[in-house]
Chain A
Amino acid sequence: MHDRYFTDEELVAYLDGETDFAPVAEITAALAQDPALQARLAALEIDRAVLAEGFADLQPEAGPRSVAVLSPGARHGGWSGQIADPAPHGRAGLRSGFWGGAVAAALVVGVFLGAALSPSRDGWAEYVAAYQALYSNSTLAHIDVPTPLQQAELDRVAASIGKSMSVEHLQIFPDVRFARSQILSFEGQPLIQLAFLTSTGDPLALCIMRAEEGTERAPELRRMEGLSAALWQQGGYRYILIGGEDDALIGRMSASLAAMNV
Chain B
Amino acid sequence: MVSFFRRKPSDAAVREGLSQVFPRVWRYALSLTGSRPEADDLAQAACLRAMERADQFQPDSHLDRWVFRIAHNLWVTEVRHRQVRSGNGLVGIETAEIVDPTQDSDVRQERRELLQAVLHLPEVQRQAVVLVYVEGYSYRDAAMILDVPVGTLMSRLAAARAVLAQKFRTEKGGRNAR
Contacts and interface: CB of A to CB of B under 8 A. Distances in A.
Q: Do A and B come from one complex?
A: yes
B23 A60 contact: yes
Contacts of A131: 4, 51
A260 interface: no
B32 interface: no
Interface residues of B, number: 64
Contacts of B134: 51-52, 55
B2 A184 contact: yes
Contact of A101 (B36, B118, B130): B36
Contact of A105 (B12, B43, B79): B43
B111 A12 contact: no
A47 B115 CA distance: 12
Given A9-B151, A48-B133, A57-B111, A136 B168 contact: no
Contacts of A187: 5, 7
B65 interface: no
A153 to B, nearest CB: 13
Contact of A12 (B15, B161, B168): B161
Contacts of A137: 41
Contact of B1 (A7, A18, A44, A183): A183
A58 B30 contact: yes
B155 interface: yes
Contacts of A46: 133, 161, 164-165, 168
Contacts of B1: 160, 183-185, 190
Given A44-B165, A45-B168, A57 B115 contact: yes
A9 B36 contact: no
A182 to B, nearest CB: 6
A191 B1 CA distance: 10
B89 to A, nearest CB: 14
Most chain A CB within a 10 A radius of its CB, from B19, B112, B136, B155? B19
A102 B26 contact: yes
A175 to B, nearest CB: 20
B47 A134 contact: yes
Nearest to A138: B41
A135 B98 CA distance: 23
B16 A54 contact: no
Interface stretch (A109-117, A222-230, A248-256): A109-117
A98 B44 contact: yes
A2 interface: no
A31 to B, nearest CB: 17
B37 A94 contact: yes
B4 to A, nearest CB: 6
B157 interface: yes
Given A55-B134, A60-B23, A102-B23, 19 more contacts: A9-B157, A43-B166, A44-B165, A47-B168, A50-B114, A50-B168, A54-B118, A55-B31, A58-B98, A96-B37, A98-B44, A102-B40, A106-B23, A117-B15, A137-B41, A139-B44, A139-B45, A142-B78, A184-B1
Interface of A: 7-9, 11-13, 15-16, 18, 20-21, 43-48, 50-55, 57-61, 94-98, 101-103, 105-107, 109-110, 112-113, 116-117, 127, 131, 134-139, 141-142, 160, 182-188, 190-191
Interface of B: 1-7, 11-12, 15-16, 18-19, 22-23, 26-27, 30-31, 36-37, 39-45, 47-48, 51, 78-79, 82, 98-99, 108, 110-112, 114-115, 118, 129-130, 132-134, 136, 138-139, 150-151, 154-155, 157-159, 161-162, 164-166, 168
A-B pairs, top 8 by smallest CB distance, nearest first, are A98-B40, A54-B111, A54-B115, A8-B158, A110-B19, A9-B154, A106-B22, A102-B40
